[in-house]
């Protein structure tokens, strides 16, 4: 891995924001419109979202950002997943000061978009809000699956529950300082440094109320009740290098969801969806393929069979049919080989007696 002595914008050094001027980001901004939707009686509560992919898909993947993020931070995932035929929605939530208020507003948004059930991908605070929404709707489930990236299940890990009710009094610069305190500093992988610069830029677009409300949701005394979401498929994505989450917080997530699928990234810091986007996109794609392959009609499929199907689904391989045919010793003509297509990949199967 190539490293650089370049430091991030959190150290107050001017650097070129590679992501902000990248062709991929500019293509995203020029092709996917930003929508603003009001679903509450209070007109000041405006949901901002990007909605891309086939609109006939009624169970899309919805991305929820961390405290410092906006809807744009998942542009890599939107470009990749919509290219694979998925419908993807990336949100930026309005000012909510209470978890119950957020869940009620999010439910109204899903009703407005005419979405009965959704897959939720949440990063940090976004992951916690996704869990609380699944818990909130457990009697009438609205969440098909959860993908939790560098997330947590109990706000007590931040040791700031006693200050949660005072964030609304703090000026914007102090709130930003609290957020930036958790950003990595010092020598960084160049892609990770670019990701931090981009997130700092996004942070600067948030006003005092937005930051204060997010920090309040992030720190007010609350925890996830796992028995209420035991029927929701959960995948945990985390990193082995430095991030804002402690090892104890990660272990607590594993204990809370012992049957969750785990996707570990060697590096990625706080924002793997930006600096390790290809790996995150692949994990999301595999999870979606699991829903197709291991369906209710094949619920008895073993983990070994599932792994083989997934490898076939995401691998690029073209068999050498001529060599295969030459290598076959023809003793009789009672069997016939035919070529079929499965999950977009060619396979040679012995399928019928002739």
pLDDT tens by residue, 40-91: 998 899 999 999 999 998 899 999 999 999 999 999 999 999 988 899 999 9
Q: Tell me: pLDDT of 286 over 80.
A: no
Q: 13 falls in which pLDDT band (50, 70, 90)?
A: very low
Q: What is the CATH number of the domain that holds 248?
A: 3.40.50.1820
Residue 6 lies in a domain: no
Q: How many CB atoms lie within 10 A of CB 84?
A: 14
Contact between residue 113 and residue 130 where contact means Cβ atoms under 8 Å apart: no
Confirm whether 335 is domain-assigned. no
pLDDT on residue 6: 47
Rounded Cα gap, residues 17 and 195, in angstroms: 9
pLDDT score of 12 more than 50: no
Residue 97: the pLDDT is 95
Enumerate the H helices of the chain as residue ranges.
Answer: 23-31, 75-83, 99-112, 125-136, 172-180, 190-204, 208-219, 247-256, 272-275, 277-293, 303-314, 321-327
Query: How many folded domains does the chain comprise?
Result: 1
Confidence of residue 31 (pLDDT cuts 50, 70, 90): very high
What value does the mean pLDDT take over residues 204-225? 94
The single-letter DSSP state of residue 182 is: T
Q: Is 156 helix (H, G, I), strand (E, B) or coil?
A: helix
Q: Is residue 82 part of a domain?
A: yes
353 assigned to some structural domain: no
Whether residue 328 is contained in a domain is answered as no
Q: How confident is the model at residue 354, as a pLDDT?
A: 35
In a domain, 336, yes or no: no
pLDDT in the model for residue 156: 87
Q: Is residue 137 scored above 60 in pLDDT?
A: yes
**Interval 187-206: pLDDT, tens:** 778 888 899 999 999 999 99
Is residue 13 in a domain? Answer: no
Residue 304 confidence (pLDDT) above 90: no
Residue 344 counted as domain residue:
no
pTM over 0.95: no
- Give me the residue label for tokens 């992919």: 53
Average predicted confidence (pLDDT) for the chain: 81
**What's the domain range around 260?**
19-320
Read off the pLDDT of residues 338-351 as tens digits, 9 standing for 90 and up: 444 344 434 333 33
pLDDT at 284 over 90: no
Q: Does residue 125 have a pLDDT over 50?
A: yes
| Confidence at residue 347, expressed as pLDDT on a 0 to 100 scale | 38
């Amino acid at each position: 891995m190539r490293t650089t002595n370049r430091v991030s914008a959190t150290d107050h050094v001017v650097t070129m924001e590679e992501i902000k001027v990248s062709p991929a980001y500019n293509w995203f901004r020029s092709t996917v419109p930003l929508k603003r939707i009001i679903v509450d009686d209070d007109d000041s509560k405006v949901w901002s979202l990007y909605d891309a992919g086939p609109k006939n898909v009624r169970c899309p993947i919805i991305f929820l950002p961390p405290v410092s993020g906006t809807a744009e931070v998942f542009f890599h995932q939107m470009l990749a997943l919509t290219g694979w035929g998925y419908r993807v929605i990336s949100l930026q939530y309005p000012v909510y000061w209470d978890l119950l208020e957020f869940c009620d507003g999010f439910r109204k948004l899903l009703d407005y978009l005419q979405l009965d059930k959704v897959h939720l991908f949440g990063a940090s605070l976004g992951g916690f809000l996704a869990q609380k929404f699944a818990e909130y709707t457990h009697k009438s489930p609205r969440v098909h699956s959860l993908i939790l990236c560098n997330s947590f299940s109990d706000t007590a890990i931040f040791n700031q529950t006693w200050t949660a009710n005072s964030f609304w009094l703090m000026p914007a610069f102090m709130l930003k300082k609290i957020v930036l305190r958790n950003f990595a500093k010092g020598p960084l992988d160049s892609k990770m440094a670019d990701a931090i610069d981009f997130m700092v830029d996004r942070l600067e677009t948030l006003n005092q109320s937005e930051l204060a409300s997010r920090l309040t949701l992030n720190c007010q005394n609350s925890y996830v009740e796992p028995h209420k979401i035991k029927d929701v498929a959960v995948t945990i994505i985390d990193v082995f290098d430095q991030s804002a989450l402690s090892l104890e917080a990660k272990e607590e997530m594993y204990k809370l969801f012992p049957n969750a699928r785990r996707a570990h990234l060697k590096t990625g810091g706080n924002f793997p969806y930006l600096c390790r986007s290809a790996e995150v996109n692949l994990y999301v794609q595999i999870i979606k393929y699991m829903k197709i392959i291991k369906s209710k009609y094949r619920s008895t499929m073993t983990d070994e069979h599932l792994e083989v199907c997934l490898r076939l689904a995401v691998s690029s391989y073209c068999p050498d049919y001529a060599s295969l045919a030459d290598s076959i010793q023809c003793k009789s003509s009672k069997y016939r080989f035919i070529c079929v297509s499965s999950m977009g990949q060619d396979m040679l199967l012995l399928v019928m007696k002739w």
